[in-house]
Structure 1
Amino acid sequence: MLNVPKDGYLCKFTTLNKNIINSIYENNLWHARVDTLNDPFEFYFNFIKELPNSTGDLCKLMDESNYWVKPHLIVQEKEAALQLLASSRESEVRHSIINKLIEHEKLLKIQMQTLCVCSLSEAYDEPLMWSHYGDGMRGICLMFDKEKLKGSSLEFEKVEYENTPPKLDFFKQYKKYKNNEEMDLGKFLLTKHTGWTYEKEFRSVSFKVNENINQLGFLKKLNKNSLKAIIMGSKISQVDKSLLITLSEKFGFELYIAQANTENYSVDIKEFK
């Protein structure tokens, strides 16, 4: 059976392709831009955009948010708003704000879609993972040491599964965005629909993609010996199997084989001999 402690690893299901072979040789992990992922609900959220009821609180919010305009227009925008408020035309001010919020909400969501994410899992013996991501037992499962990942400055946090998307305070995030501060996205980064619970996902999210970056994502260098084992699906090709044997001898990771247990619809992991 698998010799990796159950709480000591995170795994990646995939097929043995050119990119994976390169990652094994170079000892790195790919972080993909969110807008390149297949799941249309990935990093999905709703904004809370309720305006204050009192005129005083509304003015304060407008001032803190720089009136939602470019810096050189702030003075003119402030004077226009004051004139409208002075003539009891607050409804026009609120209507103008709502239109600007719609525009800036789109901009913020576009920016958030350029975040990069690496998703791993605890579910090395989950049948659906082998079916959906392991190419029906024709693929592989890479096993990474959790502590080694931490030593590589990667924080993989547990994903929570809920029936409704998280909500973010628009004004709080907008003020951070305008001040070039890191947005406090919190729960939105770590929430998926309950239909994905079987994945038992952990994810690393990057805001600062400054190494080996291209338009699709970036590669993160790992500590030596982060890859502890590879599990091969029982239907893996002989060519891929031979290549993995060679790679395991070269880099020192263990090899296992995953087989479908037809008696109880589970997956058995056994040492490859």
Structure 2
Amino acid sequence: MSDAYCLKFRAINKYLIESLVNPSIYFANPDQLNDPFDCRMDVNKIISSAVLGEKDQRQKDFLLSFLENKSFGENWKSQFENIGVFSVSMCSELTKKQPLMWSHYADEHRGLCVTYSFSEDCFTNAELLAKGMVKYCAAPDISGVFSSNFDPVKITQALLYIFLFNKSSEWGYESEFRLLKYSSGTFPINPSSIYEICFGLRTPKSDIDFIKKIASDYCGCTSFYQMQHDDSAMGFKAVKL
């Protein structure tokens, strides 16, 4: 994630204001995520599905050994109860104009979109558990996880990435990149990480003026845009303020 630009769609509220006055990002607990299956998939069901599709008896027996271990599922679930998830969308003009992102996360175009610029060393001391792009699928495929070896540690590590970085295909429009920490909560960032702010079509002028001032005063941000209708019937574009 070297000098990566990424997008975070936000409503304008006290949490946003606090994140600008004291430049920071928030790692949410899985219970706070809007997808009830996010980081909450039933690993026993995933393995059971793999058993049904496995033809090699040795590998099938190995899979069954996980299911027969009564504490495996509970231990797996407990180790993720306190993790923190910070989600962004990878920066592109297409994503910035994604109508569902503005509707779902930016208060129906009354909010804004923050562009972050994170340097490679930004999270050196952040106790990161993992980072990467989310994969979108109808159901997670774990066939390759168990076919390559019989090392429980390596299998657990591979399952971790499937468990934490897979979402249903319906979420694909988010183009999500995520960072995971061992605990949830606020994490301070360099003020210069706030690279740009783009306001929605319906963002009130009073909110625009207020956010521009605090973002400028506390983060040094000088790049502001607002979405406006373009020449097409249903499109819009970002216009510099």
What TM-score does the superposition give when structure 2 sets the normalisation length?
0.74
- C-alpha distance in structure 1 between counterparts of 2:189 and 2:18, whole Å: 13
Asked if 1:256 corresponds to 2:225, the answer is yes
| CA separation of 1:156 and 1:237: change in aligned 2, threshold 3 A | farther
- C-alpha distance in structure 1 between counterparts of 2:36 and 2:108, whole Å: 23
**Which deviates more, 166-175 or 219-228?**
166-175
Choose from 152, 165, 188 the match for 1:172.
152
Which residue number corresponds to residue 3 of structure 1?
Answer: none
User: What residue ranges of structure 1 are gaps of 5+ in the alignment?
Assistant: 1-6, 66-96, 177-181, 210-216
Choose from 131, 138, 141 the match for 2:110.
138
SS where residue 263 of structure 1 aligns? coil
- C-alpha distance in structure 1 between counterparts of 2:110 and 2:155, whole Å: 49
| CA separation of 1:137 and 1:175: change in aligned 2, threshold 3 A | closer
Q: CA deviation at 1:41?
A: 1.7
**1:47-196 to 2 correspondence within 5 Å?**
47=44, 48=47, 98=68, 100-101=69-70, 103-122=71-90, 123-147=95-119, 150-153=121-124, 156-167=131-142, 172=152, 185-196=160-171
- C-alpha distance in structure 2 between counterparts of 1:175 and 1:195, whole Å: 27
Q: CA deviation at 1:118?
A: 0.4
| CA separation of 1:257 and 1:171: change in aligned 2, threshold 3 A | same
| CA separation of 1:173 and 1:259: change in aligned 2, threshold 3 A | farther
Q: CA deviation at 1:34?
A: 0.8
Q: CA deviation at 1:150?
A: 4.5
Q: Bigger radius of gyration, 1 or 2?
A: 1
SS where residue 152 of structure 1 aligns? coil
Would you say the 8 A contact 1:120–1:201 is kept in 2? yes
| Cα deviation 1:145-185 (Å, max 9, x = unaligned) | 132x6423367521111111344769826997xxxxx7861
- C-alpha distance in structure 2 between counterparts of 1:264 and 1:194, whole Å: 28
The count of residues paired between Structure 1 and Structure 2 equals: 212
Would you say the 8 A contact 1:162–1:194 is kept in 2? yes
Which residue number corresponds to residue 34 of structure 1?
Answer: 30
Paired AA for residue 126 in structure 1: Q
Would you say the 8 A contact 1:152–1:223 is kept in 2? no
User: What residue ranges of structure 2 are gaps of 5+ in the alignment?
Assistant: none
**Which deviates more, 40-49 or 166-175?**
166-175
Which residue number corresponds to residue 46 of structure 1?
Answer: 43
| Cα deviation 1:86-130 (Å, max 9, x = unaligned) | xxxxxxxxxxx83x52x5313422432332100001222211111
Residue identity (%): 26
SS where residue 187 of structure 2 aligns? strand
- C-alpha distance in structure 1 between counterparts of 2:190 and 2:216, whole Å: 19
| Cα deviation 1:186-226 (Å, max 9, x = unaligned) | 2322111111111111100112x3xxxxxxx2111212400
Asked if 1:244 corresponds to 2:241, the answer is no
- C-alpha distance in structure 2 between counterparts of 1:175 and 1:160, whole Å: 18
CA RMSD of aligned residues (A): 3.3
Which residue number corresponds to residue 197 of structure 2?
Answer: 230
What TM-score does the superposition give when structure 1 sets the normalisation length?
0.66
- C-alpha distance in structure 1 between counterparts of 2:200 and 2:31, whole Å: 30
Would you say the 8 A contact 1:157–1:204 is kept in 2? yes
- C-alpha distance in structure 2 between counterparts of 1:11 and 1:244, whole Å: 17
